[in-house]
Structure 1
Amino acid sequence: MARLFNALGGTFLAFFQYLGEVVLLAADTFRSIFTHKLRWKLFLDQIVEIGLLSQLVVVITGGFTGAVFSAQTFFQFNKIGMGSATGAVVSVAICRELGPVLTA
């Protein structure tokens, strides 16, 4: 019985310790929004690094994903005689569904 209470108590203590750390992190983050000065040079460098310099990864990932998606769509559409609709379906699917996922 004592082992059960020790296990439950340890689990609850670990959970509340983690919860307390998350609350402290959120409080520090919120406080730093108003107290720290924004370093514009560093901020803009990070935007360039994250946005512009990652375009190659986005283009390569999108290209290969689009190629595989196109091939699979064509194979299925060709079975029912709609192979010519592959381009339209793939372009709509990539733009609406996969594009935002791949760039995120």
Structure 2
Amino acid sequence: MDIVSLIIQLVAGAVGGNVAGAAVKQYSLGTIGNSIAGIVGGGIGGQILAALVPSLAGAAAGGGLDIGAIIGQIVGGGVGGGVLMVIVGIIKQMLAGGQKAQ
């Protein structure tokens, strides 16, 4: 794993978090919140995808960045960012709902 791969995953995660926030407005955390959750999720999602499918991490090309590796990192980061943003949004909504009931 090199720094370029990590940067791709983090940027894709931020984009994925904001896209998920726009698509599922009831769980949106705002632009900054979506971006932060997306960045964290992008890093985690990219690492998980790289572990599950090593050829998407560039392992098949000797660790280099080919188009398949870049696409895999974008997909892993974007999906990971979107998923984590929705999970955090659901938890935030549940906590806010619980406080209102008291």
TM (norm. structure 1) is: 0.32
Q: Which has the higher helix share?
A: 1
TM (norm. structure 2) is: 0.32
Structure (1 or 2) with the larger CA radius of gyration: 1
Q: Which has the higher contact order (CA 8 A, sep 6+)?
A: 2
